[in-house]
Structure formats: structure tokens, C-alpha cells
Amino acid sequence: MKFKLLAIVALCFSFSHAQDNFISEEILVMNDSIQLPGTLTYNAELKQQPLLIFVSGSGNPDRNGNQPQFGVNGNYIKQFSEAMNKKGIAFFRYDKRNVTASNIKFIMESYEFQDLVNDVSAVIDQFKDDKRFNSITLIGHSQGSLVSMMATNEHVDKYISLAGIGESVDKTIIRQYNAQSPELAKVVAAHIDELKSSGTIEDINPMLMGLFAKQNHQFLKSYLKLDPTEEIKNLEIPILVINGTKDVQVEVKDAENLHNANPDSELVIIDKMNHVLKVIEKDEDNLASYMSPDFPLSEALVTTVEKFIKK
């Protein structure tokens, strides 16, 4: 299936008024046949305000940052949205294409990394002429960092990488597996080499089926070709690179790699913030913060992003 950016349609289904004059709009952005439902929140008292578009990471987190089928209920994207609204910054968060059930039939036909980039382009087109907003900032979280990086165009004023990897994804995958099982990491490396060289993996280790299932091969092949440290060199707008010291999925060195690749960027390392943007005092609470919304969002993150957008 070809995804045509010219076929973008946005439908506002409902409006709900929240306290403190915050408005929430449910918006459906269409990228050809792909549905990207999202939520726009902003302060109705402000004549104009900056807009922050959040692009989520790998897997299928919904627009709130949750994956109920895996017990993930940190609600971190929604909490981040609410915190930015209080700072006078509008926020749009949406469900990736693999969250909405009606999109699955199209994903099964064809799914490449560029499709995620095209989806972000559709979202940008929805808001580029919206007079309520005086600027557009893309913030890409985890895998979304690279997606946003590649989607940035003349309508985007600023870019933020939030816990984005600073190397090709094969290196990150192998490193993450190596931390758990060096022996399994060797199998992962062999599978990746086979996928790169032959385009497929004939004998998939059962323990790795979730990652290397046949239906994932097209997407993985397109993803493995990309290097975030090369892509970030193409950006000529203000760049902010953020990572947290308690992030066990993406390391501080990833943020440093991105910053070094584009020295004009601003690098901020936030103490005690983990991958889902929560403050972690004890290492044993890291996993628990993915499962519960009760852990506090990093205030340092909120103030850092506000300062960057408004300056």
C-alpha cells in the first residue's frame, strides 16, 4: 500500500472543557487509509501558544503511554501533556499506526520505518497552518526520536530528542540483550547478520520470536539501515537532546553521541529520570514505575522543555 501524504484528513469529533480553561480536542489524522487518532490539549485563554507534538517510541504504547496488554500503565505521556499545558504549551499526542485495530490489515501488507515518518508528516500538515499556535516543536521519545528527526521539515521550528538512541538499532538491541544474557545476545547478533545479508531469518530462535517473527522482517531491515548520528546532522533548527540517569533502556552515552554528531545541539542529562520520564529514587522502583501512574513525572524535564521551547 502506498501512503499518500496528499490524502490527509483531520476530523475533530468532540470538544471537552476541563478546569483552568484547558481545552481537549479529539482529532483523527488520516494518512491515506491509516488512522492516527490523537488528543490535542491547550489553554483556551491564550490567543497563541507553542505546540509540542509528541512522537512515541517502539512497540505499541497508546497516546497516554500505556500498553495494557503488557501491564504498562505509567500514563507518562498524558502526565507530560498536562504538565506542559500548565506552562502555556499546547500538546498533541496520538496513537501510532499499530495501536489502532483497523490499521493492522494495512500493516500486514507492508510496514517500513519510513511509514512512521510519513505519519508524523501527516500530523505536522494538520497543524502547520493552525493560527492558534505560533510554533511547532517535535519531541521524539525513544524510537520516536529518530522518527521525528527524519520527519522534521520547514514547518517545524524546533526538535527534541527524548531518550533517543545514539547508534544504529542493531547495536542497541544486542547491548540490551547482552545485559540479560550474553549467550542469547550472540544469537541475536547472528540473526541480525543473517537478516542484513539475506533479507530473512530461516531458523528463528523461539526465545526471540517476538522480535524476529517473519512479519517483522521488512520493518527491521528498513530500520537497521539507519544511523541517528547521521540523520541528526541534517537538522538546521534548534535541537535539544535529553536523557535521564536512571534510564536502563537508553544510556546517557546515546544522548552524548547525538549531541557530538550535531554540536550545535543542546545536551541536558536529567538526574534520577528514567525511560518513562519518572523520578526514580531507588533502582528497584524502575520497573514498578512502568506499571503505575503514581510515580512523579520529572519536574526537571518539564522546566527544561519549557525553557527550550520559549526561548
pLDDT value for 264: 97
Q: Quick check: 167 pLDDT over 60?
A: yes
Top pLDDT among 28 and 71 is at 28
Alpha-carbon span 280 to 249, nearest angstrom: 14
Q: What is the mean pLDDT of residues 57-79?
A: 93
Name residue 158's beta-bridge partners: 137
Residue 142 · residue 59 · CB < 8 Å: no
pLDDT value for 70: 85
User: What would you measure as the largest C-alpha separation in the chain, in angstroms?
Assistant: 59
Say which DSSP state 296 is in.
P
The string of pLDDT tens digits covering residues 216-261 is 999 999 999 999 999 999 999 999 999 999 999 999 999 999 999 9
Residue type, 303: T
Q: What is the mean pLDDT of residues 56-83?
A: 93
277: left (phi over 0), alpha (psi -120 to 50) or beta: left
pLDDT value for 20: 64
Residue 38 · residue 94 · CB < 8 Å: yes
Q: 270: pLDDT confidence band, cut at 50, 70 and 90?
A: very high
Residue 205 · residue 294 · CB < 8 Å: no
pLDDT value for 71: 87
The string of pLDDT tens digits covering residues 71-92 is 899 999 999 999 999 999 999 9
Alpha-carbon span 26 to 52, nearest angstrom: 16
Q: 186: pLDDT confidence band, cut at 50, 70 and 90?
A: very high
Alpha-carbon span 215 to 210, nearest angstrom: 10
pLDDT value for 69: 86
- Output the CA torsion sign for 103, 188, 231, 262: positive
Three-point CA angle 219, 251, 96, nearest 5°: 35
Q: 48: pLDDT confidence band, cut at 50, 70 and 90?
A: very high
DSSP alpha helices (H): ranges in the chain? Answer: 76-85, 104-109, 113-127, 143-151, 169-180, 182-198, 209-212, 217-224, 228-231, 252-261, 286-291, 299-310
Q: What is the mean pLDDT of residues 116-142?
A: 97
Burial of 256 (0-12, 13-18, 19+ CB in 10 A): middle
Distances, alpha carbon 270 to alpha carbons 39, 48, 121, 163, 197, in Å: 27, 29, 29, 11, 39
Mean model confidence pLDDT for the chain: 92
Residue 118 · residue 3 · CB < 8 Å: yes
The string of pLDDT tens digits covering residues 2-12 is 333 333 333 33
Say which DSSP state 137 is in.
E
- The three three-digit cell numbers of residue 276, written as one number: 518513562
In the chain, % of residues over pLDDT 70: 94
Q: What is the mean pLDDT of residues 46-54?
A: 96
Q: Sketch out the chain's domains with CATH numbers.
A: 5-166+227-310 (3.40.50.1820), 169-225 (no CATH)
pLDDT value for 13: 39
Alpha-carbon span 162 to 146, nearest angstrom: 10
Residue type, 61: P
Three-class DSSP category at 162: strand
- The three three-digit cell numbers of residue 272, written as one number: 534520577
Least confident of 66-75, 115-124, 182-191, 251-260: 66-75
In the chain, % of residues over pLDDT 90: 90
pLDDT value for 19: 53
Q: Quick check: 59 pLDDT over 90?
A: no
